[in-house]
Amino acid sequence: MRTQTLILFLFISSILLAQTKEVQKTKKPKVFGIQLNPYLKSSDETGWAMALRYAVDVHKHFTLGFELTGNIYNNPGYNNKKAGISLLMRYNIAKSGKILWFAELDISAWYGYWDYKELNEDYINNYPYFNDDTNYQQINWFFAPGVRIPFAKDKLSVDLMLKMSSEPVVFDSWKIAPTFRFNIHF
């Protein structure tokens, strides 16, 4: 009976000790990024491309996250506003000193709205009319190799990238454009 009680006591105490041990947790670094770049649709259509990003380093070489994106530009004949959400994956290639080289893949689902101001030459009931407003949806992707430069004791950084997109990003024909992003690390 004493042996069984001793075995039961040792078993219960080992369970309690195992549960009270502190387990060291590894902290996964997180990034909040802000992007605001000039956007050139054509020589007379300019605007801004914007993005808010949240990402988590899931491995030494991989970062996963999402981004809220949008752009606004004006033309004498219409306004265009686009908003979207993106899923992103970044592969951290190499680190030289404090500079990090990376390649990023981003897949976006967009919703766009065109506000037409264009006057049609045709007449309805002897009055000129404006085209109707319209909206559209699209999915596109971009690939961006780049470099991250940290500062402020590695709490802030700037990403300099060369964005290659499935959709034209400059002058309705160029699918490649330089871009930058400011990041807060926590």
Mind listing the pLDDT tens digit for each residue in 11-28? 555 555 454 444 445 677
pTM above the 0.85 mark?
Answer: no
Question: Which residue do the tokens 């033309």 mark?
Answer: 75
Residue boundaries of the structural domains of the chain: 29-185
The CATH number of 29-185 is which of 2.40.30.110, 2.40.160.20, 1.10.760.10, 3.40.190.10? Answer: 2.40.160.20
Q: How confident is the model at residue 47 (pLDDT cuts 50, 70, 90)?
A: confident
Tell me what pLDDT residue 63 has: 92
Q: What is the pLDDT of residue 113?
A: 74
Over residues 97-119, the mean pLDDT reads: 79
Q: Which residues contact 80 (CB under 8 A, 6 or more apart)?
A: 41, 47, 71, 72, 73, 74, 112, 113, 114, 115
Task: State percent of the chain over pLDDT 90.
Answer: 24
Please indicate whether residue 94 or residue 20 has the higher confidence score (pLDDT).
94
Cβ contacts of 42 within 8 Å, gap of 6 or more: 75, 171, 172
Least confident of 59-63, 108-112, 115-119: 115-119
- pLDDT digits 0-9 by tens, 143-172: 999 999 999 988 999 999 998 888 776 666
Q: 55 falls in which pLDDT band (50, 70, 90)? A: very high
Query: Would the pLDDT of 125 be above 60?
Result: no
Give me the pLDDT at residue 176, please. Answer: 85
